[in-house]
């Protein structure tokens, strides 16, 4: 009787609908704890990421690169609001990170939309408000102009490197030098 009961319990719990909001909270917790290995377990192998309007990343290798960028950049997310709508979770967040701090940005709000494939996240799209995007551009532009002038090869390498730990390290190094020389 006991083996049948265990089979029924396992079957029932595996069929229950996952709490998608809790999964997203775990993703954010893993991000804030720099736990890339755990964080990757929440995503489908064919994950599609849109970290900004001009960038589309695909697959777990590019996901890992983005996560490594966040670890190097000391990204910290705070949930402001979270809604579950069917297989989608929409989260209003703020992010603080080292790169933005060096540019003079305390934090930026944005919306992250997570689309699930069963228990795994299949797509993530980040959207910044026009106001947030303007704050970023107004702060990033002087840095970019300086870096292109003072360190054109490094800036080009950083820009072409996309989201990766190496690019994040280069960005932070340039941003720190820019801040020290211009502040």
Q: What is the pTM of this model?
A: 0.88
CB proximity list for 78: less than 8 A, separation 6 or greater: 93, 94, 95, 96, 107
- Percent residues over pLDDT 70 in the chain: 91
Average pLDDT, the chain: 92
Please report the domains of the chain, with CATH numbers, ordered by start residue: 17-182 (3.10.450.50)
- In angstroms, the CA 23 to CA 120 distance is 9
Per-residue pLDDT reduced to its tens digit, 34-70 = 999 999 999 999 999 999 888 999 999 999 999 999 9
3-state secondary structure of 117: strand
Residue corresponding to tokens 């590019």:
62
- In angstroms, the CA 63 to CA 13 distance is 29
């Amino acid at each position: 009787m006991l083996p049948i009961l265990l089979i029924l319990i396992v079957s029932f719990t595996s069929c229950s609908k996952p709490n998608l909001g809790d999964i997203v909270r775990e993703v954010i917790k893993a991000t804030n704890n720099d736990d890339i290995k755990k964080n990757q377990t929440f995503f489908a192998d064919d994950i599609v990421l849109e970290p900004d309007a001009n960038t589309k990343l695909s697959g777990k290798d590019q996901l890992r690169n983005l996560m490594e960028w966040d670890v190097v950049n000391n990204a910290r997310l705070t949930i402001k609001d979270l809604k579950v709508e069917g297989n989608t979770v929409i989260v209003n967040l703020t992010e603080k990170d080292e790169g933005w701090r060096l540019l003079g940005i305390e934090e930026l709000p944005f919306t992250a939309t997570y689309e699930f494939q069963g228990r795994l996240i299949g797509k993530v799209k980040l959207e910044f408000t026009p106001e947030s995007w303007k704050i970023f551009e107004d702060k990033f532009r002087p840095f970019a102009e300086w870096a292109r002038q003072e360190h054109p090869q490094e800036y080009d390498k950083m820009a072409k490197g996309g989201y990766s730990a190496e690019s994040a390290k280069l960005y932070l190094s340039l941003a720190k030098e820019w801040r020290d020389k211009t502040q």
